[in-house]
Structure 1
Amino acid sequence: MIDQRLLRTDPDRIRASQRARGESEQLVDDLVAADERRRSAIAAFESARAEQKELGKQIPKAQGEDKAALLARTKELAETVKRTEAEGKEAEATFSGLFGALPNLVLDQVPVGGEDEGTVLGSYGTPRDFAAEGIEVADHLEIGQRLGAIDVERGAKVSGSRFYYLTGQGAELELALINLAMQTAIRNGFTPMIPPALVRPPAMEGTGFLGQAAQDVYRLEADDLYLVGTAEVPLGAYHSDEILDHDRLPLRYVGYSPCYRREAGSHGKDTRGIFRVHWFDKVEMFVFTDPADAEAEHERLLGFEKDFITALELPFQVLDVASGDLGASAARKYDCYAWIPSQQRYREITSTSNCTTFQARRLNVRSRGEHGTAPVATLNGTLCAVTRVIVALLENHQQADGGVRVPEALRPYLGGRESLVPVR
């Protein structure tokens, strides 16, 4: 959530953010009105309670008609206290419901627009000219089947559409990518974590995944638990309801976990292969830091992602995501898009978001420094979404003999082998 004081001091700033997101400004008007009703009810309740207490002191000393009048007034006040307390609770519930639906404030630097209106900040690497090499481009599924690495037919048989098995060299490739990503993050100062993939509602709600993203979440109703769609959720909730020592910031964690997504609204999109699936594994970076350092930390996370993709020798672009395509928690987001030869376009494989203090306020994560306690800022960044990286690797490094060249950075994690070879 945002700082509630902004509703009173600068509601136009919130309205501008809502416009940039393409969302309702009426929500801000409703919040301002609800806040006024809440404060009015609280003031009325406190005034009645104060008078009630004062009369309670006077009654024992009063006699005759004065005492009778005081008792009558006390009876009136009791009804007023009961009524205003109920009105206050109702107003608070209305305000909390509306406030919980308000997304984070978009930073001023974010390009304004919809899904396709982000700004390309840079292009890195050059897509191969397969025609010049005399290679007919195959897509990742054809390559994966040739390598005995991907089995979507049996995945569908066992679990349904958008599920898969990684087999043989495919399984080895995933493990190699995970190990490379984790070791890369550890070298960059991150503490490795294996977080739970099932969380309680406060963790999901606190990180902002039960609002606009709720339709994409799997819920186990019998246990009131959620399957996480990213390690961002359990990592973000790790310090919930805690006060951190300011001198220890930033705290940088990197988590490996399975991720589960319903992919609601993606019917008919990317149905072939493993680019868009219901389950995949991911290595995710997460940072708790001083809000003053959040933007610099965001650039640092982007740098780590760029270095990782570069090490895999993949052509890619960096996109400054437009305001209308931001998640509820993000104030700014960068996406990295790898070149996919079979599609002749760049596709998203990683992202990193600056969530400012939005998640920390919801999760009650604060730090204590010389000026007291205050919410921290949180940031997240995907280092390796395994299936999408596998798609990019297989396609960009495919060879004329049907094999796939292994980038040098990945070879130590594959026993030193230089290529994946066809098995059929």
Structure 2
Amino acid sequence: MRSDFNITDYAVFLPAINDTYARCLVTETLGNRPFPAGLSIEDLEYWNESNKLWHYPYLLHSIGNYQVGANPDNAVTRADRNTAVVIGDSGGYQIGQGSLKGYNALTPHMPAAAAIDAWNGADDVRSWIFGWLEANSTYAMSIDMPLWAAEEKTESPFSNCTREQLLQMTVNNLQYIDVRRQGHTKWLNVVQGIDNVATEQWWNAVKKFRWGGWALAGGAGSKGGLAQLLYAVLLMRDDGAFAEGLDWVHTLGVSELKWAIVLTAIQRNLRKTNPKLTISFDTSSVFQQGMRRENAYVSPVLTNDAKTWVLPSESSPQSYKKVGSTEPFPFSSAIGDKMTLGHLNVQDWDAFDKRQYDNVSLLLLSNHNIWVTLDAVQRANESAFSTNREDNTPKLYIDCIDLIDAAFAARDWRGFIAKNKGTFDAHSRSIYDKKS
């Protein structure tokens, strides 16, 4: 059972730590509550290198978790940034949705002029986001106004804005950061897109703000599919975006194992230019499954069938009959192998109460899910970049890795991507899609 993960050779997966996990790690107490022998709640803080369970130094945390003006004290804000790498998300998703807690000036489908005026007048919000990220992040994402907000199907306050208006608000945000940054964090300039045309327009407007690196979002990231993401990366490469000092590239909101290996392939090519460059990617799914649905991930057995390259989940056993049980937790992980069902089922109310889990149960379950995800990501990379990769890696994924290498070497990479778009698009579809 591994207690450390390869953080050198592969693209870095970032668990998107939610506020409940961060808070409960420092506020929950055990008392007489059963807990795996020899461990404490602090050992679930996986980014703390002194914990007894397993260690991984990376995490993502979003200010979008909090009420505007809040100054939370939790396991993330207390993280030792000499040993932990904290990627701070600026809450662009919540801003685009108009759901940033405590900021009520934005309402769905506002007239464009009113939405722009509301954001331009939100100096207290910008100041709070900026200050929190400077204080708590190793790398921080810039405050972008996402292009998807202008799509008709959204409920965004910015749905009536044009792409040009969203881009101009973003440039204003970048200028705000540029004159105030103190060097406490390395800022990642967010690159947005809907299609390749929009990505180029966005890139040409924001590329002069070169700080610690970049974040790829929307159609410039995984949401646009592999062909569009590769287009954005090569466009940026040709403009010197990955020179020394621009060492971190984050791809927002992606967790599938197939994306882990193509991002590693892109990282390997970019490291030919900048050996220090790291690509990361994130998801909050581990916490949605563990804390909201109370499900446990099951370690996949990877084969050359793409349908095995998923993280299956099952309901974690919960019953008043399991209170005090010494029956082993049925799913393997660093914490899972030390748990019994009695460590999870602790609330002995009555036979009619369906919830026997408390907050500590959810911490244990989420820690299990994080470990299983990291282990699966590492095994996927080990399979895809081994000498016998055909044994455990789907042919489509191998083809995409090879095409990524060829695209980086191509003189006419635009033509190369267009020629092979079908293969890239097949990678980006769901494995359950009838077209794949």
- Shorter-chain TM range is under 0.3
Higher gyration radius (CA): 1
TM-score normalised by structure 1 residue count: 0.23
TM-score normalised by structure 2 residue count: 0.22
